[in-house]
Every structure is written in C-alpha cells, then in structure tokens.
Structure 1
Amino acid sequence: MSAGWVVAIVLAIGAVAYFFAAQRARVQRDSTDRAKEVPHSLPTYHGWLAFIFATVPALLVFLVVSSVSSGLLEGRIRTEVATHIADPAAASLSIGMVHNTSNALGQLGLSGANVPASYAALRDMATSAGISLAESGEDYMVPLAASVNADAGVHKLIGQGLTLLLALAGAAFSYSRIRLRLRARNQVERVVLWSLLAASTVAVLTTVGIILSMLGETIHFFSDVNPLTFFFGTVWDPRFAAAGSGGSEGQFGLIPLLMGTLYIALVSMLFAVPVGLMAAVYMGEYASNRVRSTVKPLLELLAGIPTIVYGIFAVVTLGPFFRDLSAALAGGFSFIQAQSVLTAGIVMGVMLIPVVSSLSDDVITAVPRAMRDGSLALGATRSETIRKVILPAALPGIVGALLLTASRAIGETMIVVLAAGVAARINFNPFEAMTTITVKIVNQLTGDLEFNSPQTLVAFALGLTLFTLTLGMNVYALYIVRKYREQYE
C-alpha cells in the first residue's frame, strides 16, 4: 500500500470520527436539561477535536517512521559500500548504483530466491524488460539491494500498521471523551493556534536554512581565496591562473559583477519608476471606479509573464531594434549593442512597472480622505493637491515600495542572461554589454560540478553576498512602510 493510500485512509478515519463525535455531542445536548447543565462547546468542535485526535498523531508517527526508515537503510548502504570501496567519490557513485539496482529489483518484482546471483544477469533481465541499468556494477550490489528492499518492506508494513492503529485509537479515545462540559472548543483553538504559529515560522526557518546552506561553502571558499581580493577585486576570471602568475589572486573580483548588477537595476528603475508612479497616481486620483477595475488588473498582468519571455523579447526584438536604430543614426556604425545594459534595463523596467504601480497605488489610496478634502477646500486644484499634499504624505510608503522593487531588480536572472550578456567588466557605457551576480552564479553552477574548487565554491559566496544585499534592502523597505502605516493609524 502506497503512502498516498495510507494518508487517504487516515483522513477517512478522521472524517468518520468527526461525523460520529459531532452526532454524539448533538444527542447529548438535545437530551439534557439546559437549565441544569449547559454544553460548553458546539457539536462541531467535538467533531473537529475527534478529527484532530484521529489524524494528527497518526500522520506525525507515519512521517517519523518513514524518515527513520530511510535514514537507517541509507546508513546501511553506505556502510556496506564503504567496506568494498575506500574512495569517497567512487563510493558515492556506487551508492547511487545500489539505489538503481534496488529500483530495478522492485520494478521486476524480484525478491528472495528469485534474485539473480550476479549483476550482469540482473542487467540482462532489466534490459529485456526495458529498464535501464548501469553497465558497470559489482555483484555485491544485487544481494545488498535485495536485502534493502526486504527491510524497506518490513519497515513500511510496521509504519503503516502503527499509523492505522493510532488513527483508530485516536478516534476511539476522542469519541469516549465527549461530555457536555468538555472544553472541545478551547482544545481545537489551541491546536489551530499552534498550527498558525508553525506556519508563521516557515519564513524564518527558510531564511535560516538559506543562510546555513551557503555559509559553510562560503567559508570554505574564503579559506582558499582572500576575502579582500574577492570583495575589492576588479578582475573576474575564475579560471586557474598560469604557473608563476601568483595563483588565483585577483581572479574572483566582485566589483565588476556588483557594478553590473547595480547599473542594470538603476536603468530599469529609471524606466519603471516614472511610468509606475504616474500609473498609480492616475488610478488612485483620476480614474473612475469602472476604469480602475479594468486598468489595474490589465497592468498587473505584466507581473504574471515569465521572465524568460521578457528575455526572449529582449534578445529577439528590442536588442536588434536598438542596434539597427543606432546604425541608421550613425551612418552604418552601430554604437548600441544588441546585448547591452540599456536593453536589459528597459525590458526589466517593463516587468517592474506593475510592482511599482501596485505598491504605490496602495500607498496613495491609504492617505486619509480628509487631507484631500482640506486641500481642495482651501482652493487648491487636483494636480496641486496631488503634488503638494498626497505625494509628500505618501512619500515614505513610496520609498519603501521602490526599495522592494529595487531588490526585485537586483535578483533578476533570465532577462540579464539573454539581454545583457556575460561580459564581467567595469563599464559606464549603457550601450555595451555587462553582467550581474546572478548570471555568474548560473555559469559557475552549470556543467559537471565538483564542490572542492574555488571556481565552484565562488557561487556560494556570490549567492550569500546577493542575499545579504537584497535582505538588507527588504528589511529597510519594510521598516519604512511600517513607519508610514503607523503614521495614520
């Protein structure tokens, strides 16, 4: 029986427990003199309490047993492989082959005495059945995989049995506890409260997990490369330096990548901010409700377009257009490259317009109506009210919205890959190609990876740097937005 069926059966037991528990609570309520004893909770809460007792502990036990079983089996495989292979890299490959052998045995339905004695015989059987299996393999992998499959079946059976028994026991226990004065509502609300608390910690745990996943490899990278060389270096050339050239010093300079990231983000903001702000002012102050309900969703559709589509538009349409236009203006000499900061910035700006307009519109509409009415009552026109009253009042919130938009621009990847190129250099000409941190992260983690060289580990240092930069901007933006909201509460 698969895990999906186990979960479905547990939920079915919980649904049955809900129905019978609610029905029993309803019968007790209707057969009791209300003047003598008043029920504490509605029958619905008794039903939900029975559902929680029947499902939550059982599913938690099922998850724990499955995790422990996987860990034990994986440890057994590693221990057995280590007795035959000493090299860690070869052992890792052999562990993968054992897993493939285990899957092949399961697909072929082989177990016990039916398991072939040699790897070659199993490969022939798998090939005839249309199952791919590695050409090279050791004979010890076959009995090891068969033993792992047998143990996995036992563990699976034990876990499923415990799960179903616990579900039935929880349903019976909750059913037997039903009383008129049972505080079922309080217990259900306590479970809901803890569930909400667990959900609210997901963002924090995700942030901590991201930091920890990159921090170790970043420390490893800085053990090989001087941090000063990385943060203040002006040359990006992650190849190994030639003999006698001083090693890899100066080859991992962050400055060209950081400059390209900020430059392209600046160009995109210069395009997106005016258009987005004017759109927000129009929708918040001039547009009728009918126009606003139509224009705003249409504008926000731009945010739903995949960034790869924007990148294709840039490399196929906008980049060649700028190149041909510059050639026509300069008499055949194209001073704007097809892949350039300008092309990437404009396309990214189009993508950011709905972000700027939506956030700014929310901030502008949050300005109290009394401030508008007071300005108009003193004789100011609508445009003067917007320029001298509404926008200054909404400025902190708008600044926070722009910082959030800037962090979105700094983290963009696909548009830059296609529209700005991969040239890592310090350049102030917006008509030429540059690259960003995200592009180089993709480049360093593409292809055959060996996480023991600076050429690969530098991607973690770049990722942690970019994460710190965007996190700081987001925190500061949220601080400004929160301060603005408190001003009018």
Structure 2
Amino acid sequence: MPASWTLLIVLALAGAGYFVTRARVIAQAGGDVRRLHSRPSYHGWNAALLTALPALFLIAIWRFVQPAANVTPVAILALVLAAAGLGLALMRSAPGFRARNAVEATVKGLLILCSSIAILTTAGIVFSMLFETGQFFRQYPWHDFFFGTTWSPRFGGGSQLGILPLLWGTLYISLIALAVSVPIGLFAAIYMSEYATPRLRGVAKPMIEVLAGIPTIVYGLFALITVGPMLRDWFAQPLGLGSSGSSVMTAGLVMGIMLIPFVSSLSDDIINAVPQSLRDGALGLGSTQSETVRKVVLPAALPGIVGAVLLAASRAIGETMIVVLGAGAAARMDLNPFEAMTTITVKIVSQLTGDNDFAAPETLVAFALGLTLFVITLGLNIVALYVVRKYREQYE
C-alpha cells in the first residue's frame, strides 16, 4: 500500500473521529452542552489527535529509518494504531471527561517536541562535524591547519591546508560588507521610523526589503558583470592596485548591498517598539528630535540593533555565491582590497565537490573548516550577549 494512501486513510479516520465523537458527547449530554466539562470541539480534537498522531509518528519514523523498504506492514500497523486510537477516544467520551486538559497536554507535548527537534538538530550537526574533524586531525597536524599560511590541497599527498588565508579572506570581505550595510541600513531605519511620513514609509520599506528577495546568484552575476569591471576601470587600474575584476572590494560591496534589508528591517522594527513615552518625555524636557533619537531611542533599541548586526555578520560569513563570482578563488593574505581572495565557505564547497576520496584529509578538511565557522559564529553571539548585558546594566 503506498504511503500516500495510508496518510489519506489516517487523516480521514481522524476527521471522522472528530465529528463522531463530538456528536456522541452532545447526545450523551442530552443536547445540553452545559453538562459537559469541556466544549464538544475539545472532545472532537481529542479523538482526532489520538487517531492521527500515533499512526503519523510511526509512518514518519519508518520512512526515516527504512525509506526504500516495503511499507505495507507499516501501513497496516499504522491503520491498526489509528483505529485503536479512535476506539479509545470513543470509549473515553463522556460528559465528565476532561477533554480540554487532554488536548492541551497533547499540544504542549507537540510544542516541546518541535523545540527539541531544533535543539537535537543543532547537537547532531555539531557532533557530526566534531567526529569528522577528529578524523581529519588524525591525518593532518592541527598546528599546520590553524597556523599555516598556505592553502594548497593536492589529492594524493603533499597538501598544505593552512586556514589562515581563508580566514583572512572571510573576515576581510565580511568587514567590508558590514561597513557598507550597517551604516546604510541603520540610517535608513532611523529615517523611516523617526522622520519619514507614513505614506513615504509605506513605499520605502517594501522597496528596501525587495533586496532581501533577490537570489544570491543574481548578486553574484551583478558583481561579476557590473561592479567588478567598474571598480577595476575606475579605481584599481588608475591607482595601480590591480587589474582583475574579481576582488575583495567587489564581493564586499555587493554583499553589503544584499545585507542592507537585514539591518534596516530589523532595526526599524526594534526602533518602532521603543515606547512613545520615552520620546515624549525627552521632547518635553527640551530635547530636539535628533537628540531624542541619539540619546534616548537608539540606546533603548540597542539590544535589537546588536541582534540585527549579528544576523548580518553571520549572513556575510556564510555567503558563498557572491564570493565565488565576485572575489575569485585565490587563497592569499593581502591588504590590497582590489586583489582576488576567497573565503572558508567557498573552499568547503570546492573540497566536497567531485568524485573524491571521502576519507582523504583533503576532503575531511571541509568539516574542520565548517567547525571553525561554527566557533566564529558562536563567538559573535557571545560578544553580542556581552554588549547587551553591559547596556542593560547602564540604562535599566
């Protein structure tokens, strides 16, 4: 029996259980719902949940463990569980049954399960990277990885897998991107929330947020075709800083444009959430509007603004397509922003692409690079938490 048929039958039984149980308790109460402990709809939902949830969990677990196996035995067992749940719900249906408590407990359990899935997924990602990273460091010296200044993977032996050139390119491009996105995004948020008229705000904010919906590959093509040649012809070649259209500056500028909506939209929402009473109090004491924004509104909105900047930084560190097309794939350490460089994420993709030996250090290095990115992002979160706590001690 196909799994889709089983799902349809289980859902049909759950729907039938809802209406049958609801009608049953109303009949048991003699048509007077005031005699029921819980509303009839709760009795119906209790039956639907008892019918559907065990069967659906069984099907989901089986498809996860054995996706290609025969599903007929599981389908039969799922239908048996659904029928048993429906029968149990009908047996328990009575005017005095606390159906609302049962439904709320079930929903609470589902919410806990959903939150646990997110936590367990994060733990699974971390442990998988730790395991593969351990495999890598058994084959390649850790000090050469963390302190090496040359990135030259060669399948078959003789690789130099120093992370410093990749880390430098990642931080350099991200710094330029944040230098573009944070001031522009923050000033745009301040203008839209404090100075713009409602009509202008209704037009400007959606237009800014359109940038967030553009695919990163389009930004990459924009960097490759337009921004890179423009920076090369207008700045790099006249100043004698390079002749390549692929550069750190190209990727950083385009990535900064992409990150503007992340900063502006979140900052705008946070600034608008500042109580109006704080503004009124500052204006009533004689502050100008600009002084109110600088000394009252922005300090009160600092935790949210820090979160927006952190989100933008994490997004910049994890970007790949813009870097591939805008900055190139050269692993080097250089202060010249018009030279081609690359990032950790680009090399993760390149090391896992193709028909390579998965047990080779040249492939396993991708997991060490991924774990390094995870630690960097965790460090950003810790720094942001410290800033927020320090702010709260000063202003609360």
Task: Work out whether the TM-score is over 0.5.
Answer: yes
5+ residue gaps, structure 1, are: 74-151
C-alpha spacing 1:232/1:285, structure 2 compared with 1 (3 Å)? same
Residues 18, 48 of structure 2: 8 Å contact kept: yes
Match of 1:145 in 2: none
Residues 401, 477 of structure 1: 8 Å contact kept: no
Match of 1:27 in 2: 27
TM-score by length of 1: 0.75
Match of 1:204 in 2: 119
Deviations 1:150-169 (A, max 9, x none): xx55xx33222222222223
1:362-381 mapped onto 2 (5 Å cutoff): 362-381=269-288
Distance 1:475 1:363 in 2: 21
1:238-253 mapped onto 2 (5 Å cutoff): 238-239=153-154, 248=159, 251-253=160-162
Match of 2:206 in 1: 297
Deviations 1:192-235 (A, max 9, x none): 00000111122211211111221111101101111111111111
Q: What is the Cα deviation at residue 58 of structure 1?
A: 2.1
**1:319 partner SS:** helix
1:307 lines up with 2:222 in the alignment = no
Match of 1:42 in 2: 39
TM-score by length of 2: 0.92
Residues 17, 50 of structure 1: 8 Å contact kept: yes
5+ residue gaps, structure 2, are: none
Percent identity reads 57
Equivalent residue in structure 2 for 1:52, among 26, 32, 49: 49
The one-letter amino acid paired with 1:204 is I
The one-letter amino acid paired with 1:321 is M
Q: Return 172-181 or 391-400, whichever deviates more.
A: 391-400
Match of 2:168 in 1: 259
Distance 2:180 2:82 in 1: 59
Q: What is the Cα deviation at residue 256 of structure 1?
A: 0.7
C-alpha spacing 1:157/1:485, structure 2 compared with 1 (3 Å)? farther
Residues 26, 32 of structure 2: 8 Å contact kept: no
C-alpha spacing 1:66/1:207, structure 2 compared with 1 (3 Å)? closer
Deviations 1:466-485 (A, max 9, x none): 11211332354366558878
Match of 1:138 in 2: none
Q: Return 360-369 or 172-181, whichever deviates more.
A: 360-369
Question: More relative contact order in 1 or in 2 (CA 8 Å, sep 6+)?
Answer: 2
1:439 lines up with 2:346 in the alignment = yes
**2:90 partner SS:** helix
The one-letter amino acid paired with 1:15 is G
1:338 lines up with 2:245 in the alignment = yes
Q: What is the Cα deviation at residue 487 of structure 1?
A: 9.1
Q: What is the Cα deviation at residue 239 of structure 1?
A: 1.8
Distance 2:33 2:342 in 1: 78
Tell me the number of residue pairs that the alignment of Structure 1 and Structure 2 aligns: 396
Match of 2:369 in 1: 462
Distance 1:302 1:33 in 2: 54
Q: What is the Cα deviation at residue 394 of structure 1?
A: 2.9
1:20-419 mapped onto 2 (5 Å cutoff): 20-31=20-31, 38-64=35-61, 70=66, 153=70, 156-239=71-154, 248=159, 251-326=160-235, 329=238, 335=242, 337-419=244-326
Residues 241, 338 of structure 2: 8 Å contact kept: no
Deviations 1:407-444 (A, max 9, x none): 11111111001100111011000011111000111111
Deviations 1:365-390 (A, max 9, x none): 23332222222223222122222332
Equivalent residue in structure 1 for 2:328, among 421, 430, 435: 421
The one-letter amino acid paired with 1:298 is M
